[in-house]
Structure 1
Amino acid sequence: MRVLLSGYYGKGNGGDEALLATLLQMLPEHVTPVVLSGNPQETQHRYHVEVGDRMAPLSVIQALRSSDAFIWGGGSLIQDITSSISPFYYGSLMALAQKMKLKTVAWAQGIGPLKRSLTRSLARNTYSNCTKVSVRDRASAALLSDWQIPFILAPDPVWALESKPVPGLWDLPAPRVAVTLRSHPQLTQMRLANLTRALVDFQKATQTFILLLPFQKSEDLSIAETIQPQLADVSKIMCLEDPQLLKGVYRGVEMAIGMRLHSLIMAASEGCRCFALSYDPKVNRLMEDLDMPGWDLASLPDDANLIGKTWIEHYANGNPLSPEKIQFLIDRALIHREVLSQALA
């Protein structure tokens, strides 16, 4: 069975690459995946799969015609906060696949926010015509319930992604703390300056080694490069493209401070203490589900001293998830694999 996979792949985003890696890991053995990518060569090289150019209409239509099924491959594809065009791109592909009578799966979705009535209508129509739908959070489940669309709810599949050991990680000074910040309108210059001052104070108090871990170079690297000179001898910028290596970093880290959803999921799944800086409702949902400490960026304290002291307190006295809780979440995340087995039988 040939199955076409569509998501925000090949764009250098560690979270979306982690979803793709997990999806490929969970596909039934009889499936031949074909991945629509923004960087087909890189995707083919990394995952050893057939690829198509996600922005080449002829290539996409040919891929659909030669496939038996179509999968939205996880994450916040259908939302109109960061892009009003994105949901129409993904929605059009799903609608076309349904018109061509392919089996269609909306897999591990984080739906919304949906502010526009047109986007909501598109979402409702496409989800209602799917063969199977799985979602990763309660807010998405509530939306589908309101629309009377059947679904399966399970934690984000990246909980179950297999990690790889990172060459050279254990040669770096310990203990280590990983920090992932991304560019966003709410991360103003003043807030970044306060976070940087707090991080310097935190490092001095804890004598930790700071790993600055960009998840998407285009969004994160410049911020890491702004912070790193303030921590010149006690930090390192670590750029990793392979999502299994990204997750592997957290095997050797005591605590993670993160904006990105999947930086926090990867860290929590490897037994790190986590502190969230939320820029998006999906991060707030994770904080609520795991009782994870953190702040919305919009309400970040103005006092760098207070931020630093809060981090020091969490480093000293905060608790990671228990091994039992981690295993429970991994086992639950594997429900997304069952969804694929049922839909693609």
Structure 2
Amino acid sequence: MNKLRAVLCGYYGMGNGGDEALLASLLQMLPPQIEPIVLSGNPQQTRDRYKVTSCDRKSLTSVVQALRQSDIFIWGGGSLMQDATSPYSAFYYGGLMKLAQVMGLKTIAWAQGIGPLNRSVTCWLTQQALKNCVGVSVRDRGSAALLHQWRIPSVLAPDPVWAMESEAVPGLWDLPAPRVAVNLRSHPLLTPDRLTVLTRALIDFQKATQTCLLLLPFQASQDLAIAQTIQPQLPGFSKILMLENPQELKGVFRGVEMAIAMRFHGLIMAAAEGCRCFALSYDPKVTHLMDELEIPGWELTDLPPDSHQISQTWLELYANGEALSTDQIHSLVDRALMHQDVLRTALRKL
């Protein structure tokens, strides 16, 4: 079969470890006949890291040129069509997909989390874009239910990052053991008072366990300052690990006993590597993951004000908690590969 070019569109090259993991997963799952062109906020970094063609996602001229050279347009994972913060994200991604369709490209919505959609215009735009796709896959039941309501066929499968290959982190095993990973991100729900309570709980937890705490920013602009605030207050050994390679970011969790995480993909990576997890939810997607996998945790709105209660809960999980079983992990990985089947099926339609 002749090579086909595909424009991959997502929140790539923006310094977010979770979205980079989605790109790495998509590139891993792309059929060999497809040659990718990645729209990126940092095209040079994307070219160097993944050895692919990349262009500036903000340059209309470059994007249109990429579309003219291509046969396929792919929304590449994540919650692209949502208007919770503003409608601009939905206008950008929905507008690009409609442009691709007008230009004659076949379009695929891959591993999407649809919504929330609170505005009629963004809801309509999402519907119009999706109904003309040759393949649609979603990563959560809410999105699948919405598309069923719209009579748009879709495949429901776990997030593709479950199936992303991980890589060893140089120097990780030289750090003191046992190790516990911590990932917090800035968010209006993580108020200064709640951050103070969590920091006190981490201090108590480290004193009781003598663990090495690894602070893992997934996005420097949102996570690094919090890690830098927490680290000087910790009584034992700790390290801030800033990893740009998403496979290495997942690989960190091979070498830790437990993870305390806010970020959705932080929890997925940890659980996929057989790590005990504790969730701090700021978003419905994290809450749904907690419910689906029975991950212990709190929504930030329900976080206890008593740091001792929090640290005791973590100590109980550390001493007696269980990670997902090998069978559970294998099942999730196998089902996540259904997103790859959507790509193959769409390719056959071409």
Q: TM-score, normalised by structure 1?
A: 0.99
Which of the residues 202, 206, 212 maps onto 1:203?
Answer: 206
Q: How does 1:1-345 map to 2 (within 5 A)?
A: 1-231=4-234, 233-345=236-348
Report the CA distance between 1:232 and its aligned residue. 5.4
Contact 1:273-1:320 at 8 Å conserved across structures: yes
- 2:340 is paired with a residue whose SS is helix
* Gaps in structure 2 of 5+ consecutive residues: none
- 1:144-195 C-alpha deviation (Å, 9 max, x unpaired): 1111110000000000000000000000011110000000000000000000
Distance 2:48 2:289 in 1: 32
Moved over 3 A (4+): none
Determine if contact 2:161/2:268 at 8 Å carries over to the other structure: yes
Identical aligned pairs, as a percentage?
68
Q: CA RMSD in A?
A: 0.8
What is the CA distance between 1:122 and its match in structure 2? 1.0
Give how far 1:233 is off: 4.0
3-state SS, counterpart of residue 344 of structure 1: helix
The alpha-carbon deviation at position 83 of structure 1 amounts to: 3.2
Deviation at 1:286, TM superposition (A): 0.7
Cα distance in 1 between the residues matched to 2:90 and 2:209: 44
What SS class does the counterpart of residue 201 from structure 2 fall into? helix
What is the CA distance between 1:82 and its match in structure 2? 2.9
Greater CA drift, 149-158 or 95-104: 95-104
Q: Do the aligned residues in 1 keep the contact of 2:211 with 2:236 (CA within 8 Å)?
A: no
Alignment: residue pair count:
345
User: Partner letter of residue 264 of structure 1?
Assistant: L
> Distance between the aligned counterparts of 2:337 and 2:228, measured in 1?
37
2: distance between equivalents of 1:344 and 1:231?
A: 52
Q: Is the 8 A contact 2:83 2:117 kept in 1?
A: yes
| CA distances 1:24-54 after superposition (whole Å, capped 9, x unpaired) | 0000011100000000000000000001100
Counterpart-to-counterpart distance in 1, 2:139 and 2:299:
21
Name structure 1 gaps, 5 residues minimum: none
Deviation per CA, 1:119-166: give whole Å up to 9, x if none: 111111111111110000101111111111100000000000000000
Q: Which moved more, 1:225-234 or 1:68-77?
A: 225-234
* Residues 108, 157 of structure 1: 8 Å contact kept: yes
1:240 match: secondary structure = coil
Amino acid in structure 2 at the alignment position of 1:133: V
* More moved, 215-224 vs 125-134: 125-134
Other structure's SS at 1:221 match:
helix
Q: For the residues of structure 2 that align with 1:256 and 1:61, how far apart are their CA atoms?
A: 42
Deviations 1:36-95 (A, max 9, x none): 000000000000000110000010011011100000000011111133211100000000
Q: Distance in 2 between matches of 1:280 and 1:141?
A: 18
Report how far residue 268 of structure 1 moved: 0.1
1-structure distance, mates of 2:179, 2:105: 48
Question: Does the 8 Å CA contact 1:69/1:344 hold for their aligned counterparts?
Answer: no
Q: Secondary structure at the match of 1:274?
A: strand
Question: 2:250 & 2:161 partners in 1: Cα distance?
Answer: 9
